[in-house]
Amino acid sequence: MVSGAHVLVVDSDPLNRVVLENTLSEDCQVTLCDNSDAALQVIATNNVDLIITDITLRERGGTLFLQKLKESPTTYMIPVIIISSSNSYSDEVKGLQMGAVDYITKPFSPLIVKARVKIHLALKQKSDLLEKLASIDGLTELPNRRLLDTHLAQQWQLCQSTQQSLVLMLVDIDYFKAYNDLHGYAGGDECLVKVAHALELVIHQQQGFVARYDGVRFCVVAKGLNSQQVELLCDSMHDAVEQLLLPHKASPICAHVSISIGTTIVSKDYSLGIAHCFKDADGALCAAHANQERMVMVNR
Ligand SMILES: Nc1nc2c(ncn2[C@@H]2O[C@H](COP(=O)(O)OP(=O)(O)OP(=O)(O)O)[C@@H](O)[C@H]2O)c(=O)[nH]1
């Protein structure tokens, strides 16, 4: 069994709940619910790895529960095993077609339930790992461009509907080609990792999001900040990188590795769209480089 996994048992029959708890609690954390509404509350506030439910697919409540789980972007990946008193072939097909990973009929053998739970937890663990690997940058371990795109699309919608400002920053390490030439590509890699972690510390303190955007550029997404707060945040990012004290003898502007930042704040004109926002931040970053300014900001 996958140690530390959290299994949610949803069954209206108290005896079944006890049997399932006894079967699984040796290897997993088990939470018991006697109805689907209580189960949805548990799922909303806890990390659940697998659900075992006795839903009856001929009843609307049963199909609705499974449908809700499979339609929500936060729960669709939780494997669901149906344990049903119906041994009808069509109910089994329906359950599997609606997204359940397995269908066990009552009366069930605890050992079979245990074995199947073990298989589905192991598969879930592997798919979680794949999902993680597909979303992080291999060098810096920051979120990658794929995760950035998903996060930004969500934040854009949220900020637009709640009338909060959305801040998008492009952060570039100055004279990095020269740094690579001096320290070698491996030395450049080490520098990238250190800068990434320094930025991550500052941005996470502000509940923001930082990803590796491309090459030596990072992208920061934050919300609800005004121009002054953005300036303070940029100062903290500059300080964090400069305090790493990574010598950069080839830089004409600083004895140590430094960064430049191009920023867009969108607070009025969301009709511009995300692509335009990136164009603004990129333009601001070019202006920061050209004028040797630490940060250039565009307000929309
Ligand atoms: N070590 C290392 N270098 C990289 C990586 N990705 C991109 N680079 C290098 O980073 C350098 C980026 O150079 P540029 O951004 O074009 O130019 P720059 O020297 O930083 O000049 P300014 O942007 O004007 O400050 C290039 O030489 C790339 O080959 C990486 O993952 N590791």
103 lines ligand 1 (CB under 6 A): no
- Please enumerate in sequence order all residues whose Cβ is within 8 A of that of 237, keeping only pairs 6 or more positions apart, or say none: 171, 198, 199, 202, 203, 220, 259, 261
Ligand 1, atom 29: nearest CA belongs to which residue?
177
Residue 69 belongs to what domain range? Answer: 6-133
Tokens encoding 258: 């430094």
pLDDT, tens digit (0-9, with 9 covering 90-100), for 255-282: 899 999 999 999 888 888 899 999 999 9
Residue 1's pLDDT is what? 60
Residues 245 and 193 occupy one common structural domain: yes
User: Do 175 and 248 touch, CB atoms closer than 8 A?
Assistant: yes
Residues 67 and 171 occupy one common structural domain: no
Residues 118 and 149 occupy one common structural domain: no
Q: Quote the CA–CA distance of 234 and 268 in Å, as a whole number.
A: 22
Residue 7's pLDDT is what? 97
Residue 219's pLDDT is what? 97
Ligand 1 centroid distance, CA of 195 (Å)? 13
Q: Is the pTM of this model over 0.80?
A: no
Judge whether 34 lies within some domain: yes
User: Do 58 and 64 touch, CB atoms closer than 8 A?
Assistant: no
Ligand 1 centroid distance, CA of 206 (Å)? 27
CATH number of residue 69's parent domain: 3.40.50.2300
Residue 58's pLDDT is what? 60
Q: Which of 105, 133, 161 is the last residue of a domain?
A: 133
Q: Which of 75, 104, 133 is the last residue of a domain?
A: 133
User: Do 184 and 113 touch, CB atoms closer than 8 A?
Assistant: no
Residues 149 and 244 occupy one common structural domain: yes
Q: Quote the CA–CA distance of 64 and 53 in Å, as a whole number.
A: 13
Angle at 13 between CA 9 and CA 14, to 5 degrees: 80
Ligand 1, atom 14: nearest CA belongs to which residue?
177
Residue 30's pLDDT is what? 96
Q: Which residues of the chain have pLDDT under 50?
A: none
Q: Quote the CA–CA distance of 191 and 245 in Å, as a whole number.
A: 11
User: Do 91 and 57 touch, CB atoms closer than 8 A?
Assistant: yes
> In a mutational test of the pocket of ligand 1, which residue from 139, 172, 174, 180 has the highest number of ligand atoms less than 8 Å from its CB?
180
Q: Quote the CA–CA distance of 241 and 21 in Å, as a whole number.
A: 51
ipTM over 0.90: yes
- Please enumerate in sequence order all residues whose Cβ is within 8 A of that of 62, keeping only pairs 6 or more positions apart, or say none: 36, 55, 56
79 lines ligand 1 (CB under 6 A): no
289 lines ligand 1 (CB under 6 A): yes
31 lines ligand 1 (CB under 6 A): no
CATH number of residue 206's parent domain: 3.30.70.270
SS3 track for 144-198: CHHHHHHHHHHHHHHHHHHCCCEEEEEEEECCHHHHHHHHHHHHHHHHHHHHHHH
Q: Quote the CA–CA distance of 61 and 48 in Å, as a whole number.
A: 21
Judge whether 291 lies within some domain: yes
Ligand 1 centroid distance, CA of 249 (Å)? 16
188 lines ligand 1 (CB under 6 A): yes
Judge whether 139 lies within some domain: no
Residues 262 and 232 occupy one common structural domain: yes
